[in-house]
Amino acid sequence: MASLTPLGATTTLAHPAMATTTATTETGPAQAGTVAVDVRGGAHVEVRSLTKTFPHGGRLIEVLRGLDFELRPGEMASVVGASGVGKSTLLQVLGTLDAPTEGSISFDGVDVTSMTPARVAEFRNREIGFVFQFHHLLPEFTALENAMMPGLILRLPRRDAAARAEVMLARLGLAQRLSHRPGELSGGEQQRVALARALLLRPRLLLADEPTGNLDTKTGRDMHELFFELNRELGMTILIVTHNDELATRTPRRLRMADGLIVEQE
Ligand SMILES: Nc1ncnc2c1ncn2[C@@H]1O[C@H](COP(=O)(O)OP(=O)(O)O)[C@@H](O)[C@H]1O
Ligand SMILES: [Mg+2]
């Protein structure tokens, strides 16, 4: 991974299309036309008394049973625990993909659980990046097009979204793979495209659910390295569910879940 170009230095982010379009942003509508590749830093996330209950077979299953924790801006933490303890549910709820049953989640002091559905969708696209165990790339689109998606949803001009995606893919070592479709990429490359897509809009929170669970050891290790590098370069807050002990011991903080609760924070 040493050959990859760090994002922190502005020189590596210069792209002809970006340089020309950035100048137009002041007159454009909010967001549209913005291609500033700013380092936006990380969200301060506060979770209070969070519960999630699913109705199942005529009864209620309490999957999250009252979680309290905080992620400081730019912090990188892992979530560990046996299968079925609620790790994925926690990520879904934190990521606003699913509403909690009770409790609150705030980002930089703003309660996301009380936002309207339209507002929360916009907020999610802009502020939260997801990486899952399976890449969920669209098979009929190229790596570049897949990575552009959050920009198109935000209604960035197509060339701005493409420019951003190209920079991000190049940063992740995929400059030579822009026009490949997912089926023409290795598992590690597919996951890096998914990571590029997740990071396209420089989310302030990155949620990853066993992102290397499907990769071989070496490829997984390279991917872990990328998470650490990107955390340093972009400063986003990262919460990563993992069964990989090597990764978990390397993250500055670990949240251990058992039976729908966080039983240990270290
Ligand atoms: N939509 C759902 N409906 C009913 N039960 C669910 C639903 N989603 C998850 N669960 C249950 O919640 C528990 C925790 O699941 P999950 O969060 O996926 O655990 P983990 O990611 O730690 O393996 C499991 O028992 C699972 O069956
Ligand atoms: Mg899971």
Is 11 inside a domain boundary?
Answer: no
Question: 10-24 burial by CB neighbour count: b if 16+ within 10 A, else e?
Answer: eebbebebbeebbee
CB 115 within 8 A of CB 106: no
* 66 inside domain: no
CB of 100 closer than 8 Å to CB of 50: yes
How many domains does the chain contain in total?
A: 1
- Asked if residue 124 belongs to a domain, the reply is yes
Distance of CA 64 from the midpoint of ligand 1 (Å): 9
Is 118 exposed, middle or buried (CB count within 10 Å of its CB: 0-12, 13-18, 19+)?
Answer: exposed
User: Does residue 125 belong to any structural domain of this protein?
Assistant: yes
- Cβ of residue 86 lying under 6 Å from some atom of ligand 1: yes
Distances 128 to 86, 112, 122, 169 between C-alpha atoms, Å:
20, 12, 10, 18
Number of other CB atoms surrounding residue 127 within 10 Å: 21
User: Within a domain: residue 61?
Assistant: no
Tell me, what CATH number does 251's domain have?
A: 3.40.50.300
Q: Are 243 and 80 in contact (CB under 8 A)?
A: yes
Between CA 179 and CA 77 the distance in angstroms is: 34
Does 124 sit in the ligand 1 pocket, CB within 6 Å?
Answer: no
Q: From first to last of the 266 residues of the chain, give the pLDDT tens digit.
A: 444 555 644 334 334 344 333 333 333 333 433 334 567 889 999 999 999 999 999 999 999 999 999 999 999 999 999 999 999 999 999 999 999 999 999 999 999 999 999 999 999 999 999 999 998 999 999 999 999 999 999 999 999 999 999 999 999 999 999 999 999 999 999 999 999 999 999 999 999 999 999 999 999 999 999 999 999 999 999 999 999 999 999 999 999 999 899 998 87
126: left (phi over 0), alpha (psi -120 to 50) or beta: alpha
- Identify the domain containing residue 160 by its residue range: 77-97+120-265
59 CB near ligand 1 (under 6 Å): no
Tell me if 200 is assigned to some domain.
yes
For residue 108, tell me if it sits in a domain: no
The answer to whether residue 59 sits within a structural domain is no
